[in-house]
Structure 1
Amino acid sequence: MDTLSYKTISANKETVNKEWLLVDAENETLGRLASKVAKLIRGKHKTNFTPHVDCGDNVVVINAEKIRLSGNKMDDKSYISHSGYPGGQKEVSVKSLLAKKPEAVVEKAVKGMLPKNKLGAKLFNNLFVYAGAAHKQEAQKPKAINLNDIK
């Protein structure tokens, strides 16, 4: 038996082929959308996935203002941030954040599903979220994909 034929192939940044993908967030549930987009950004859908390498795709999300939230999350869910100073805690509801900056809701959801290290920060740069149907990545010719096809 030839054991040389069973070598594990590990991807690196030279051997990775990155694609541009276009995701339409219209009528998608926020958490389900974010988990699938995080999987695409991380590269877990590829056969040559390597945990310590940025082997995922660049993802463009459009229609971020048309996402759905299940249950009472539109009224009850809020994001809390703290400046580090006494009394510096701020609380913003999802409804007000969607009205003001809908891209931030999707970005926060996806960022929470990426690794909490330097690789996660680098992977987050592969996400581009837009409130409307227009986006700035036309030159890259992103391939439109259906999220329901992703397991």
Structure 2
Amino acid sequence: MPKTYFSTDGKLAEDWKLVDATGIPLGRLCSHIASMLMGKTKPGYTRFSDTGDTVVVINAEKVRLTGNKWDQKTYYHHTGYPGGIKSQTAKEVLTSHPERLVQLAVYRMLPRGHMARKWFKKLRVYVGTEHPHTAQQPQTIKLPDLGYHN
């Protein structure tokens, strides 16, 4: 009887992918990034093993939000003190930390658990076109047509 193949950590070659976020809607971009981090784009995908790629995102400040989300979408966090809930709109987050928009969206799209924390460490988000990972020779990924035009 043939046995089912399960890939384990380190068996599949880990690739580096480069994604340009210019003009792409945030949710559509991050759902593709989450799939690449989990390894769902590879034929040897195994749900309990780290078979994903490392993803480098550039131009995070040029990501697109549709409708009135720049003013209406709210990000909350709590300081840990009584009455310490803080909120920021997407526009305020973009001005202070543009990379956090992509990081939060990708992290919230990953399934919860220890694998999500492992996969999230493989995400590198940068403002502008410069990144320190040229030595890894990342492949430039042109995402499929997601209803946007660069």
Shorter-chain TM-score: what band? over 0.9
Describe the superposition over 1:55-114 as per-residue Cα deviations: whole angstroms up to 9, x where unpaired. Answer: 000000000000100111111001011123210100011101101110011000000011
- How far residue 136 of structure 1 moved from its aligned partner, in angstroms, is 0.8
Match of 1:132 in 2: 128
1:22 aligns with 2:22: no
Of 18, 22, 44, which aligns to 2:40?
A: 44
Percent identical among aligned pairs is 45
Q: Which has the larger radius of gyration?
A: 1
- The whole-number CA distance in structure 2 between the counterparts of 1:23 and 1:14 is 23
- The whole-number CA distance in structure 2 between the counterparts of 1:148 and 1:25 is 13
Of 74, 78, 89, which aligns to 1:78?
A: 74
Gaps of 5+ in 2: none
1:112 aligns with 2:147: no
- The whole-number CA distance in structure 2 between the counterparts of 1:142 and 1:54 is 19
Match of 1:62 in 2: 58
- How far residue 149 of structure 1 moved from its aligned partner, in angstroms, is 6.4
Of 27, 39, 46, which aligns to 1:31?
A: 27
1:103 aligns with 2:99: yes
Q: Which amino acid aligns with 1:67?
A: V
- The whole-number CA distance in structure 2 between the counterparts of 1:98 and 1:76 is 13
Backbone CA RMSD of aligned residues: 1.2
- The whole-number CA distance in structure 2 between the counterparts of 1:17 and 1:141 is 14
Gaps of 5+ in 1: none
TM-score normalised by structure 2 residue count? 0.93
Describe the superposition over 1:8-30 as per-residue Cα deviations: whole angstroms up to 9, x where unpaired. Answer: 11000131211000000000000
The SS at the match of 2:9 is coil
